[in-house]
Amino acid sequence: MLSIQKLSKSYKGVSVLDVPSLSISDGESFGLVGNNGAGKTTLFSLIMDLIQPSSGEVLSKGKPVGRSEHWKPYTGAYLDESFLIGFLTPQEYFEFVAQLYAVNTGELEERLSKFSDFFHGEILEKKKYIRDLSKGNQKKVGIAAALIGQPELLVLDEPFANLDPSSQIQLKQLIKDLPSDMTVLISSHDLTHITEVCKRIVVLEHGKVIRDITTEAETLTELENYFAGKDQEHAVTSDEPTKNP
């Protein structure tokens, strides 16, 4: 699905991302973790062609995202509130997104019905502009909109942030219930959530891939030890990411 080749990003001579090679397969649930400034949002922004790389490229289905628009019809994403249109109501925004993906009114209603518990009666038919919603409810709108087109590739940056505990649990279930052939990329600071919904975890540190882990029963403890500083010496001094089969 995705292939990253010699990808780097620098600002004023300071490197914020340096990923020589990374591949993400069709149907893979891919989690990205790292401390603030690790390069997670930068990587996702490059995948979505929101910023230009300093070198290298991202290929989606074998074609560069920066020199083609082929990837847009099968990609859904929510990175932050800049994806929203604040002067629209959620319903108006959903209808706008549905038009982009040629989803008719009946199909839209059916697809939105799957989010009824997640919306908790606070999103639809409230006649509130998106700009007036809480940060958590804005995020719910963005996540739902990213799924309206039933994408083959879904990219979500920190989807659990700003959500209350009930909504986090509902979102985890929504992600688990996604079609098995959908490729899902998620970044999160919440190690528990991301190890529950992603079968592969990549750790970024200072813009570099430090670990590439297949999620197992012990993965959460392994990540907690790493970020607690108990297991970082080898990781940050090694030239190659630690990869567990």
Establish if 64 belongs to a structural domain. yes
Residue 231, pLDDT score = 61
Mean pLDDT for 54-69 is: 95
Establish if 32 belongs to a structural domain. yes
pLDDT at 232 over 80: no
Q: CA–CA distance from 67 to each of 21, 48, 57, 62, 138 (Å)?
A: 19, 12, 10, 12, 31
Mean pLDDT for 11-26 is: 95
Establish if 19 belongs to a structural domain. no
Query: SS3 of 3, please?
Result: strand
pLDDT at 244 over 50: no
Residue 240, pLDDT score = 45
Contacts for 155 with CB less than 8 Å, ≥ 6 apart: 44, 47, 48, 75, 76, 77, 78, 79, 146, 185
Establish if 1 belongs to a structural domain. no
Look at residues 163, 182, 156 and name the one whose alpha carbon lies nearest to residue 80. 156
Establish if 155 belongs to a structural domain. yes
Residue 126, pLDDT score = 85
Mean pLDDT for 154-179 is: 96
Residue 127, pLDDT score = 86
Mean pLDDT for 73-83 is: 96
- Cα diameter, the chain: 55
pLDDT at 101 over 80: yes
Expressed as residue numbers, the domain containing 105 is 27-220+232-244
> How many structural domains compose the chain?
1
Establish if 6 belongs to a structural domain. no
Establish if 20 belongs to a structural domain. no
Q: Is the pTM of this model over 0.85?
A: yes
Of 96-100, 124-128, 227-231, the range with the lowest mean pLDDT is 227-231
Residue 119, pLDDT score = 95
Q: What does the pLDDT look like over 115-134, one tens digit per residue?
A: 999 999 999 988 899 999 99
CATH of the domain at 70: 3.40.50.300
Residue 236, pLDDT score = 38
Residue 125, pLDDT score = 86
Establish if 65 belongs to a structural domain. yes
Q: CA–CA distance from 164 to each of 161, 181, 234 (Å)?
A: 9, 29, 36
pLDDT at 245 over 90: no
236 or 143, higher pLDDT: 143
Contacts for 124 with CB less than 8 Å, ≥ 6 apart: 90, 91, 112
